[in-house]
Structure 1
Amino acid sequence: MPTLHSREVYQQLRDAALGVRSLQLVQQHQLDGQLWVDIDGWQLLLDFEGNRLHHCEHCRHPDGREGSLDTWQRYGTNPVSLLSTWEMAQIERLLAQDR
C-alpha cells in the first residue's frame, strides 16, 4: 500500500488550523509529550516540546495508508515544517484547550 506524503498530512493540519476540519485530542502520553489526534478520521501522532508543536511522528489515513517520520525525513520534509507560523500557533492553541 502506498505511503502518505508529507503534503497530504500537512493539508489536514492546515485545514484543522483554518477550522475547515475538526481536530480532536484522542490520547496524551504524559511522559514523552506526544499526542494522538484525530482530524476527520485521520489519526496523527504529534510530538510536542513543552507547548510547542515539534513534528509529526506518524499518520494513518482512514483508508489504511500510513506515513511516518522516518519516511518523511528521507525526503526532507516533515508535515509540521510546512505549516506557517500562524497555522502552527492555531494547532497549538486548539490542542492546549483539550489538554
Structure 2
Amino acid sequence: MAKIGEQTWDELYACHFVMDVEGWRITLYNDCDELDYCEQAVSPVGQRWDFSSGDRTDPIALLSTWEHRSLELRLKAL
C-alpha cells in the first residue's frame, strides 16, 4: 500500500486520498480525518468501479469496526 501524490492523510483532512494497493488505484474520501467512503477503484488492467457515498456496495461500509479503524491507522502512517 502506497499513497499517490505528495500530501499525507493528515494534510488532506477533507478531500480525496489516492493510493495504490498491488496495482489497484483506489480513491478514498478523508472526511475531517476520518475514513468515510471509497470513491473509486481502478484495476491494474483498467477496469473501473465508481461508488457513491450512499451506495450499499461501498467497500468501506462492509468493513468491521476493527477493520475500519485499522485501515485508518495505516492510511495515517503513509
**TM-score, normalization by structure 2:** 0.80
Aligned-residue identity in percent:
27
1:95 to 55, 62, 75: 75
Per residue, is there more helix in 1 or in 2?
1
**Could you list the runs of 5+ residues in structure 2 that have no partner in the other structure?**
none
CA distance in 2, matches of 1:89, 1:32: 17
Matches within 5 A, 1:47-66: 47-66=29-48
**Which stretches in structure 1 are left out of the alignment for 5+ residues?**
1-22
Secondary structure of 1:81's aligned partner: helix
Per-residue CA shift, 1:7-53, capped at 9, x if unaligned? Answer: xxxxxxxxxxxxxxxx1111248374210011110000000112211
Structure 1 outlier segments of 4+, above 6 Å: none
How many residues align? The count is 73
Q: Which is bigger in relative contact order (C-alpha 8 A, separation at least 6)?
A: 1
How far 1:97 sits from its partner (Å)?
1.1
